[in-house]
Amino acid sequence: MKLIVGLGNPGEKYARNRHNVGFMAVQTIAKEHGFPAFKRRFQGVASDGEIAGEKCLLLMPTTYMNDSGRSVGEAARFLKLSTSDLIVIHDEIDLAPAKLKVKTGGGVAGHNGLRSITQHLDNDYVRVRIGVGHPGSKDAVHHYVLGDFHKSEVSWLDPMLAAMAKAAGHLVKAEADKFMSEVALLLQPESERKAKRAPPEPAAPKQDPAKPHPGGEGQAKRAGAMADTLRKWLAGRGKGGI
């Protein structure tokens, strides 16, 4: 079984915050794969279902971001899961907007949600990092991540979340490279995807210069006969003929 956690803060006022992109991703996955409605469990809201034949629990902690580990730790211990079965989806200010990275373990890079999970479990879980960009100043980070995505960002955000949901089967099978490749493919314009899927046109057969073109022998004979007729006609005129 896999435990897929989206990080964010509960409540309508946080719903479209950059910090809540993990919640958005989990909700999109649930819709794509037909999970039932979320119910209160493990100090959060959760939903059970299957992705690519693998049993999964989708979890959104309602403990607020800085205390996410309480919810995730409770769920992991109850389900008797190791951190290798844990996938955490979160915002990443150190990645440019619309960039996506997957890694296992490593530092928490100042992300309080990851720090809390690591404190309650250990560090070797999969992180799906959705780039939201950096405001440019450390002092502006708090206000920035708790701000809503701009309307201009929706053009990349919604398609990326949809592509991640469609490719989630690779994620639960620990196929990070295939997950990334499928997301990238799904985000390409439809015209480019069709061009890649279309079989190449067969090349025209090369003509051996040493061999006559099909039908060339007959054409040569007809041309020769016409030339003979012309010569005879001209010869007849020279003798006072026709």
The larger pLDDT score, comparing residue 36 to residue 223, is at 36
Q: Are strands 126-131 and 100-104 parallel, antiparallel or unpaired?
A: antiparallel
217 and 100 within one domain: no
Q: Is 177 among the domain residues?
A: yes
Q: 231 and 142 share a domain?
A: no
pLDDT in tens, 37-91: 999 999 999 999 999 999 999 999 999 999 999 999 999 999 999 999 999 999 9
Same domain membership, residue 122 and residue 231: no
**Degrees to nearest 5, angle at CA 56 with 108 and 166:** 85
Supply angle C-alpha 166, 169, 174, rounded to 5: 135
Last residue of some domain: 152, 171, 187? 187
On the question of pLDDT at 241 being above 50, the answer is no
Same domain? For 63 and 165 the reply is: yes
* DSSP 8-class letter at 13: G
Residue 59 Rama label (left phi>0; alpha psi -120 to 50; beta): beta
Which letter does DSSP use for residue 112 in this model?
A: H
DSSP letter (8 states) at residue 67? G
Q: What are phi and psi of 57, to 5 degrees?
A: -115, 120
> Is residue 144 a contact partner of residue 27, using CB atoms and an 8 Å limit?
no
Same domain, yes or no, for 171 and 224?
Answer: no
> What is the reported pLDDT for 148?
97
In a domain, 194, yes or no: no
Say if 192 falls within a structural domain. no
Look at residues 151, 172, 187 and tell me which one is the last residue of a structural domain: 187
Residue 11 DSSP code: S
Classify residue 202: in a domain, yes or no: no
Catalytic one of 19, 90, 111, 170: 19
Q: What percent of the chain shows pLDDT beyond 90?
A: 75
CB crowding 174-209: b at 16 or more within 10 Å, else e? ebbeebbebbeebbeeeeeeeeeeeeeeeeeeeeee
Asked if 19 is an active-site residue, the reply is yes
Q: Using 50, 70 and 90 to split pLDDT, how confident is the model at 242?
A: very low
Write down the pLDDT at residue 109: 78
pLDDT at 206 over 70: no
Tell me how many domains the chain contains.
2
Shared-domain flag, residues 179 and 217: no
Residue 132 maps to a domain = yes
Give residue 44's domain range. 2-187
Q: Are residues 24 and 133 located together in one domain of the fold?
A: yes
pLDDT score of 108: 84
Are 51 and 122 found together in one domain?
yes
Task: Name the band, by pLDDT with cuts 50, 70 and 90, for residue 204.
Answer: low
